[in-house]
Amino acid sequence: MALKFTTSYMEDSLSVFRQLKSLSERAMGQVSDEQLSTALDGEGNSIAVIVKHIAGNMRSRWTDFLTSDGEKPDRNRDTEFEDPPATRAALMSLWEQGWNCLFQALEPLSDADLERVITIRGERHSVMQAINRQVSHYSLHCGQIVFLAKHLGSEHWKALTVPRGKSAEFNKRVVAGEASQR
């Protein structure tokens, strides 16, 4: 997380979403194109399938966020778990489209909008509840992306945060003001 103090829920939420996006992208950058489509077993999802699902969810939830139900009638959730894009470029384009929907919906909002009421699957939510729902959902899936990338990258994996066994060294750098923000 950025080391910026804020009392703005919107500012903090956007920061969390950006952190999740960055961690996932850095993880995906460490696997081969082939590994993006690798599932650990028959019931598991590949990184590519998870990306397709997140992008589909984001398009549905954040398009016309304040004025239409967050479950769009043209969304077919089940197909998000089938036939992901075949290339890294196509996959990352889909990923960017999803995140663009989110940021375009949330960046114009202020903390004064948090009590506004929206619907998801016909259920009423405050804007704050809807954001919390998606922070939780995307955290789960971004964690899956990082887990899969780390597993698939194994011995070539480069830590996305503080490397194992390097906490003391990192803490010394933080105290000395030398640690970079991640």
In order along its 182 residues, the chain shows pLDDT tens digits of: 445 677 899 999 999 999 999 999 999 999 999 999 999 999 999 999 999 999 999 999 999 999 999 999 999 999 999 999 999 999 999 999 999 999 999 999 999 999 999 999 999 999 999 999 999 999 999 999 999 999 999 888 898 876 677 677 766 666 676 655 44
Q: Do the beta carbons of residue 125 and residue 133 sit within 8 Å?
A: yes
Structure tokens at 98: 């999803």
Q: Given this model, what pLDDT does residue 161 score?
A: 79
* Dihedral of alpha carbons 161, 165, 167, 168, sign: negative
Phi then psi for residue 38, to 5 deg, are -90, 125
Q: Given this model, what pLDDT does residue 4 score?
A: 67
Q: Given this model, what pLDDT does residue 171 score?
A: 63
Q: Given this model, what pLDDT does residue 110 score?
A: 95
Q: Do the beta carbons of residue 182 and residue 161 sit within 8 Å?
A: yes
Q: Do the beta carbons of residue 73 and residue 85 sit within 8 Å?
A: no
> What residues contact 144, with CB distance under 8 A and at least 6 apart?
45, 50
Q: Given this model, what pLDDT does residue 2 score?
A: 47
User: What 3-state DSSP class applies to 60?
Assistant: helix
